[in-house]
Amino acid sequence: MSSKFSRPIVAAFALFTTAALAATVTVAEINAKVAGLLAQANDANTKIEASFSQLAVDSVRATQFGAALHAEEIGTRLVKFDAEGDYEYVTLATGDEPRFSAKVALEMDFVGAFGQEVVNEIAGDIESMAMNIVKDFTAEYGAAAQAQIAIENLQRDPQGNIVTARIKFDGVVDFSQLPATKPLRDVELKEIHAVIDVNFQGQQGARLEVSGIMNPAYRSFQADQTGLKELIEGLLADDMEAYQTITQILGFAAAGMEWLSNTKP
C-alpha cells in the first residue's frame, strides 16, 4: 500500500506544482484536489478518502478546522478506519477557548490479527493502564489536575476471555493551581473528556470519542510557532507543500492499515 500510495502521488505533485494558483481557493476545490490525488492510490483492495468541512484562519491563528477520513484495506482480513475531527477557536467574555472534538473507529478482528493469548494480555491490563493514565495526568500537573476514570461494560465469555470494555476518562486542569515548575505555556490542555469502547472479538473493533479545551497560552499558539494555521493557509493558497504534508500523513496511515489487514498471530 505504501509504495503504490507514494509513486503516483509524487508524479501528480509535479503536475499540480506547475499549475499551482497564487489566489485563494475554496474548500470544495481543495477537496477535489485531495480526492484526485488519493484516487490514484485506490484499487480493488484499497480505499481511502479524505475531505475538509471547514478551514479558516485570522492574522494570528487557526480559527476553524474540520476534516474526515475513511479508509478500507482488504488483505487476509478486512480493516476499516474512520475519523472525523473539528476544531474551533472561540473568544468569550471569560477568555479564549480553543475547542476540539474527534471520533475515531477502527473496525477489525483483533483475535484474528493478534491471537487470543495476546488479546487476553492486553485486555487483562485494562485496569492497570487506566490507573496509569490518571497517575500520569495528575503527576504532570500536581494539585492543579483533577482526573476521573471508570471501566464499564466489562464482559467475559464462558472461557474467561474479555469480550468488551468501555473506558471513560475526564480530566481538568486549574491553571491557578499549577506548580511553580510548570509554566502555563507548557500546559497543553484545560480539560479533556474521552470514551473508548473496545470489542475484542468479531469485527466491531474499537471506537474513541474525545473532546476538550486547549490552553490558549500554550506555546504552540505563539506567533513564532509553525502549526495548524500554516497548514490551513497553505491549503487555501493552493500550496503543494501543504498537500504533500496531508498525503504523507495519509500514506503513514495507509501503511498501518496494510499491516493490520495482513498481520498474523
Q: Which tens digit of pLDDT belongs to each residue from 75-98?
A: 999 999 999 999 999 998 888 999
Closest-CA residue to 103 (of 256, 206, 213)? 206
Neighbouring-strand partners of residue 46: 73
* pLDDT winner (highest mean) among 36-45, 81-90, 225-234: 81-90
265 confidence band (pLDDT: 50, 70, 90): confident
- Note the pLDDT of residue 6: 52
- Note the pLDDT of residue 13: 42
- Note the pLDDT of residue 48: 92
Does the pLDDT of residue 61 top 80, yes or no?
yes
Instruction: Calculate mean pLDDT across residues 177-184.
Output: 92
- Note the pLDDT of residue 14: 39
CB 227 within 8 A of CB 61: no
Which has the higher per-residue pLDDT, 29 or 4? 29
Percent of the chain with pLDDT over 70: 91
Distances (CA, A) of 186 to 50, 134, 221: 32, 19, 11
End-to-end CA distance of the chain: 21
- Note the pLDDT of residue 100: 97
Which has the higher per-residue pLDDT, 206 or 61? 206
Does the pLDDT of residue 214 top 90, yes or no?
yes
Closest-CA residue to 188 (of 225, 149, 151)? 225
- Note the pLDDT of residue 85: 97
Does the pLDDT of residue 190 top 60, yes or no?
yes
- Note the pLDDT of residue 246: 86
Going through the chain in order, the beta strands assigned E by DSSP cover: 46-57, 62-74, 78-92, 95-107, 145-156, 162-173, 189-199, 205-214
Instruction: Calculate mean pLDDT across residues 47-51.
Output: 93
Mean of per-residue pLDDT scores for the chain:
87
Does the pLDDT of residue 113 top 90, yes or no?
yes
- Note the pLDDT of residue 5: 55
Instruction: Calculate mean pLDDT across residues 162-190.
Output: 94
CB atoms within 10 A of CB 200: 23
Instruction: Calculate mean pLDDT across residues 135-150.
Output: 91
Q: Is 160 left (phi over 0), alpha (psi -120 to 50) or beta?
A: left
pTM listed for this prediction: 0.85
Closest-CA residue to 122 (of 71, 211, 196, 195)? 196
Closest-CA residue to 104 (of 150, 69, 58, 128)? 69
Closest-CA residue to 232 (of 26, 49, 6)? 26
- Note the pLDDT of residue 23: 44
Amino acid identity, position 187? V
Does the pLDDT of residue 1 top 60, yes or no?
no
